[in-house]
Amino acid sequence: MRKRRNRKWNQRIWAALLAGTMLLALTGCVQKETETKEKTYVWQLGTSSPEDTVTQVFAEKFAEETDRLSDGKMQIEIYPNSTIGNDSELLDCCKEGDIPFVVQNTAPQVSYMSKTAVFDTPCVFDTIEQARDAVDDELFYEQIETVYEDGGYHLLGIADQGFRVMTANKKIEQISDFKGLKIRTMENANHLAFWQTLGANPTPMAFSEVYIGLQQKTIDAEENPVEVIVSGKLYEQQKYVIETNHLPHYITLIMNDNLFKDITQEQQKILEEATETAVQYAREQADERVTDRLGSIEESGTEIVTLPDDLKDDMREESSDLYEEIRNQVGQKLFDLYTE
């Protein structure tokens, strides 16, 4: 069954990508020979995010730097907005080597690599700088890099879209205000469990259905990064954008691990340097976009609500059981490196 499924997606991907070139199954790339017989590698990168997002910015900067550092010998072609597969399909095909690179949020990766659930630990950080310091920590990064390698991927770097926040037609001023709130979340067991600990009624829903869900009052609230709330115009159906800042919305750049090991050390170094520049640029863009989008929300008349510290403490306290579950899932060492 798995083989038939993979063949089906290979056919779809090839139809989208070949365009007269030959896809090399073992390396997941196209090789072109110049007149001097030097090889030019053309690799594909897939995302499930729209083009007007930090995810796209991250991918484009990585491609640009890879091209520059390799003098055009290593090229990255970007396929955004689920053009060649949704999150699960991208992960499957990246692991098989059919799509060399993927840029995506960590939430869909938990069902593939259970220890990535560490990123689901809620209400850990007061600022996005703290969250970035946590994932950049050398000891933590070594541990999480091994998690991806064990899953068949090579982790090149981690950027973000700032924090995830919630929108609602009810102002949140104390912990009891969450009770009974019908909130749309991503399809991630830890995300669902977090909102349940606060007394809310979380429900997974496809993003394409969220605006209508809010409009028709199928749901009362939703949670997303600020730029997604603006790009999807979700704030139009909500009175409040509430800065719960419950989770950093991390964006990982991963590649097929076998491909990374097969390329030369020089090529590996180029990819790593390109990623380092792209991560820094994406983070700067994320900060600028959050500020800009919050301004647009305020101009529309939707109120921005900043939660008091005592309410944030209450949210952490209510999440204590979930902390224990995630700690058991990922291991004490990885959990402590991330949270402490």
Residue 17 in tokens: 């990508």
Handedness of CA 118, 209, 230, 165 (dihedral sign): negative
Predicted pLDDT at 23: 39
Predicted pLDDT at 28: 52
Give yes or no for a contact between 59 and 103, defined as CB atoms under 8 angstroms apart.
yes
Alpha helices in the chain (DSSP H): 2-17, 54-69, 87-96, 128-136, 138-150, 189-197, 210-215, 226-231, 257-262, 265-300, 309-318, 320-330, 332-339
Predicted pLDDT at 294: 97
> Which pTM was predicted?
0.89
Amino acid at residue number 189: A
Predicted pLDDT at 36: 47
Predicted pLDDT at 144: 98
Instruction: Give me the residues paired with residue 279 across strands.
Output: none
**Other CB atoms within 10 A of residue 176 CB:** 11
d(CA 316, CA 175): 11
Predicted pLDDT at 29: 58
d(CA 193, CA 117): 12
What DSSP string describes 123-145? T--SSHHHHHHHHH-HHHHHHHH
Q: How many helices (H) and strands (E) does the chain have?
A: 13, 10
Residues of the chain with pLDDT under 70: 1-37
Q: Which domains does the chain have, with CATH numbers?
A: 2-113+123-328 (3.40.190.170)
300-313 pLDDT per residue, tens: 999 999 999 999 99
Predicted pLDDT at 236: 96
Average pLDDT, the chain: 91
Going from the C-alpha of 89 to that of each of 5, 11, 44, 190, 335, the distances in angstroms are 10, 13, 14, 21, 28
**N- to C-terminal Cα separation, the chain:** 43
Predicted pLDDT at 31: 53
Predicted pLDDT at 333: 98
Give yes or no for a contact between 263 and 140, defined as CB atoms under 8 angstroms apart.
no
Residue 40 in tokens: 């030019």
Amino acid at residue number 135: V
